[in-house]
Amino acid sequence: MTIRDDMPSLHPHLVLAPLFWAWFRADSQEEGEWRYPTGPCAISIPGPDPLRILILGDGPAAGCGVAIHELGIAGHLARHVARHTSRGVSVTVTADRAASVHSTLRRLDDLDLAVYDVVVLMLAATDAFCLTPRHSWRRDMAALVGSVRARTTARVLVTSIATLEFARSLSPFARRLTGSHARMLDDETRRICVETATEMIALDAASDLTSRTYAMWARRIGSHLMGAP
């Protein structure tokens, strides 16, 4: 898909959002384009008093860019927390490469959140790329955070947007637009977290989705998790 740099600047999000969404859906269904682990994701490390962690998310949470979940966010997070706490750790990922905050909210009824000690919301990549309107994101993200907190006594953590690595194939104009939109969604998420007393973790930007990237993010999430609530 090619987005020209001379597109009109008047309400570009409204003009381009349907095009971005159509491209994203088509591209995300091409198995050869994006690499993902296969099979259910549940990484367990034996040990006393196991900590049960659930990650809800989109492409980066699903392990985009790596062949097995042990090299994704689940494996790295489980090993990092187990190593620094001497506890058992179980990390379950419920994610979809094209998940949005809206679709994740709709899936909550199918999940038993009460069995987890920690729930991590790792979203926004899809919504940033598809230019989800600010008011829609705020409405659905606030509802998602509120619903998760109402269904469990688990500690709830929200990450900033992980990456826009998939946007590299777009023109400079499109990359600027999606990048700006990502920052806007992060700002809205930050406000929601402040209003609901929910912890937010800022993830470092990354140019590639690799095991090294996931290890970096796992250290950030794990260090925050092991700190004082």
Quickly state the pLDDT bin for 33 (edges 50, 70, 90): low
As for how many domains the chain has, the answer is 1
pLDDT tens-digit map of 61-83: 999 889 999 999 999 999 999 99
Give domain status of residue 96, yes or no: yes
Region 192-217: what's the mean pLDDT? 92
Burial class (CB in 10 A: 0-12, 13-18, 19+), 17: middle
Give domain status of residue 159, yes or no: yes
User: Alpha-carbon distance 158 to 175, whole Å?
Assistant: 24
Give domain status of residue 160, yes or no: yes
Model-level pTM greater than 0.75?
A: yes
Quickly state the pLDDT bin for 169 (edges 50, 70, 90): low
Mean pLDDT, the chain, rounded, equals 84
Give domain status of residue 11, yes or no: no
Q: In what order do the strands lie in the sheet with 199-201?
A: 41-45, 89-95, 51-57, 118-122, 155-159, 199-201
State which residues form the domain around 149: 36-224
Give domain status of residue 131, yes or no: yes
Give domain status of residue 12, yes or no: no
Residues of the chain above pLDDT 90, percent:
59
Longest CA–CA separation in the chain, Å: 60
Give domain status of residue 31, yes or no: no
Give domain status of residue 17, yes or no: no
Helix axes 73-85, 211-226, angle to 10 degrees: 40
Look up the CATH number of the domain holding residue 43.
Answer: 3.40.50.1110
Residues 204 and 220 sit within 8 Å (Cβ to Cβ): yes
